[in-house]
Amino acid sequence: MFYFDDFYGKKVLKSSLLADVDCFFTTRDFVLTSASRTDLEFDANGNRKFLIEKFGLKNIYTAKQTHSSNVKIIKSEKYFYDDTDALISDVNNSLLLLNFADCVPIILYSKKDNIGAVVHAGWRGTALKILKKTALKMSTELNVKLDNITALIGPSIGKCCFETDEDVFNKIVEDKSLKKYYEEKGHKYYIDLKLLNYSQLEEIGIKNIDICSYCTCCMSDIFFSYRKENGITARHSAVLRIKGI
Ligand SMILES: [Zn+2]
């Protein structure tokens, strides 16, 4: 279950599945990346500093997101990753952050191993199965048992608002007979990106999954929405801190 919580006076969204882990999705109240909204740059810079200070860290591990399926395991001395849409960490006390405005944010974490990941899956990333790829990489390269992974599928554009034409639809939905992933109205398709990502995890045996019902486009008073705000918007973030030992 998702619930709004308070991070030192700023509104964030958490899940009861990882309530005791330092991970959350930020809101408009706690902007960490201003993107195309230059008026928010000052707030974003201040908030990043605030976040780093509150966690007692030196910096944040983040990436230049490109809607790719490139997944990187971070190295402690390297804070920025080019052309990357998922970051995995087994580094104690590291803080991972990626940015979103309608795309699906996912946090993966194994408490047993203290290894986690943050994933950015828009429609391209969903079609490329970046989420499944990330979980499998945690398993094959860092020996995390898939059973031990908890997944939080955060707020993103919902089926209610993610309208596409047939060309995009054909790239995302592989099996047209599975009507639970979409609705067809006239010549338009309404696709459930969160459910498609959920299925990628189910396929590989991950069962501990929380899926957020909020649509960022319907709830653009709380989250940033690229579609609702015609591309002129900032970003909310998915944040995960790997525990320090
Ligand atoms: Zn909606």
pTM: 0.97
220 CA from centroid of ligand 1 (Å): 9
> pLDDT tens digits for 152-184?
999 999 999 999 999 999 999 988 899 999 999
115 CA from centroid of ligand 1 (Å): 33
Token couple for 217: 């486009």
**Distance of alpha carbon 194 from alpha carbon 154, whole angstroms:** 8
Token couple for 3: 């619930």
Under 8 Å between Cβ of 97 and 32: yes
Q: How far is CA 70 from the centre of its chain?
A: 14
Token couple for 32: 């960490």
213 CA from centroid of ligand 1 (Å): 10
103 CA from centroid of ligand 1 (Å): 13
171 CA from centroid of ligand 1 (Å): 21
Q: Which amino acid is at 56?
A: G
Under 8 Å between Cβ of 214 and 6: no
Q: Which amino acid is at 204?
A: I
Tens of each residue's pLDDT in the chain, 245 residues: 999 999 999 999 999 999 999 999 999 999 999 988 999 999 999 999 999 999 999 999 999 999 999 999 999 999 999 999 999 999 999 999 999 999 999 999 999 999 999 999 999 999 999 999 999 999 999 999 999 999 999 999 999 999 999 999 999 998 889 999 999 999 999 999 999 999 999 999 999 999 999 999 999 999 999 999 999 999 999 999 999 97
pLDDT of 245 reads 76
176 CA from centroid of ligand 1 (Å): 22
Q: How far is CA 86 from the centre of its chain?
A: 9
Q: Which domains does the chain have, with CATH numbers?
A: 2-241 (3.60.140.10)
222 CA from centroid of ligand 1 (Å): 13
**Which has the closest alpha carbon to 91: 120, 70, 114?**
114
182 CA from centroid of ligand 1 (Å): 14
